[in-house]
Amino acid sequence: MIKALIGYGVSAVLLFFAVLFALASVYAPMRIVVSVIFFFAGFFLLYIVWKRQPTKIVQKVEVPGKIEVHEIKCPNCSASLDIRRSQVTNGIPTIKCPYCGHISEITEEPKW
């Protein structure tokens, strides 16, 4: 979401310069070329941001079917862990043991 906001901000600046150069082209006709470049850059950036918008990061753990079958156990105290308590930290799905507080990464191939 922050990236999209930056994208909108930068494209707004680019379009602002495009308008500025378009107005300035009254005095120097070559500036219309710069204006067109800014216009294209601005709209291209808007297009990229708009296209990327639907693929925003969803805080949802995609648990592979393999893990759902196996029981997840804490590698520290071997207590069984509830997969529904898992959280996404820095893009890595993790689960915190409610008994000992050990945080384990949920990987496709469980090491425990």
The residue ranges that bind Zn ion (CB under 5 A) are 74, 76-77, 79, 97, 99-100, 102
Tokens of 94: 């993790």
Between residues 50 and 99, which has the closer beta carbon with respect to Zn ion? Answer: 99
Between residues 24 and 83, which has the closer beta carbon with respect to Zn ion? Answer: 83
Q: How far is the CB of 104 from Zn ion (least distance, A)?
A: 8
CA distance 39 to 15: 6
Tokens of 111: 């090491």
Which positions ≥6 away from 77 have C-beta within 8 Å?
A: 97, 99, 100, 102
Between residues 53 and 80, which has the closer beta carbon with respect to Zn ion? Answer: 80
Q: How far is the CB of 91 from Zn ion (least distance, A)?
A: 23
Q: How far is the CB of 60 from Zn ion (least distance, A)?
A: 24
Comparing CA positions, the residue from 67, 112, 110, 87 lying closest to residue 96 is 87
